[in-house]
């Protein structure tokens, strides 16, 4: 759910030693328009940021649209990461980097739990957690200050 994703975002920032800036966190509606509006608001506030994490890919697509309309080059000026790993071939270039959820595995588990409940068998657990996978595509780049290391240029790799 949305709160788990927000908590995961905050935990990732903390684990990386990055500050949590509440003014950079915007709410959306899990739709393209929500991502678009939230990104337009951030860009309109003239806040400095080099990366954007959207709670789902539809909002990431909206963020992409807003960034492009604002003249930003992706990923050189702004990296975008979504969540769900939805493919939009030929529609969005560069393709959006995204967190992939194991939807098939989740559906099988949920179905089995439901069948157990129908048969009167209590579920073994009330919450099930799954390992997610980051699927890197072309919408992300290293943070600009990380492009040089000890005075040497670090090559950028793009998918």
pLDDT tens-digit readout, 104-133: 999 999 999 999 999 999 988 888 888 989
pLDDT score of 55 = 92
pLDDT score of 125 = 82
Q: What is 2-103+130-153's CATH topology? A: Rossmann fold (3.40.50)
Residue 29 has pLDDT above 50, yes or no: yes
98 is written with which tokens?
């995204």
Question: For the chain, what are the domain ranges?
Answer: 2-103+130-153
- Best CA proximity match to 70, nearest among 78, 61, 80: 78
pLDDT score of 102 = 93
Please list, in sequence order, all residues whose beta carbon lies within 8 angstroms of the beta carbon of residue 33, skipping any fewer than 6 positions away.
62
Q: What is the mean pLDDT of the chain?
A: 86
Higher pLDDT, 95 or 145: 95
């Amino acid at each position: 759910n949305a709160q788990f994703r927000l908590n995961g975002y905050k935990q990732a920032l903390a684990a990386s030693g990055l500050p949590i800036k509440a003014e950079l966190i915007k709410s959306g509606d899990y739709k393209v328009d929500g991502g678009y509006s939230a990104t337009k608001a951030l860009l309109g506030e003239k806040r400095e940021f080099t990366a954007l994490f959207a709670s789902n890919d539809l909002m990431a697509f909206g963020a992409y649209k807003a960034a492009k309309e604002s003249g930003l080059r992706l990923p050189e000026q702004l990296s975008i990461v979504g969540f769900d790993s939805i493919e939009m071939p030929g529609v969005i270039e560069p393709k959006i980097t995204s967190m992939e959820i194991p939807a098939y595995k989740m559906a099988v588990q949920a179905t089995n739990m439901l069948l157990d409940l129908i048969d009167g068998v209590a579920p073994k657990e009330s919450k099930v957690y799954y390992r997610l996978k980051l699927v890197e595509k072309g919408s992300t780049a290293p943070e600009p200050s990380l492009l040089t290391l000890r005075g040497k240029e670090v090559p950028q790799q793009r998918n």
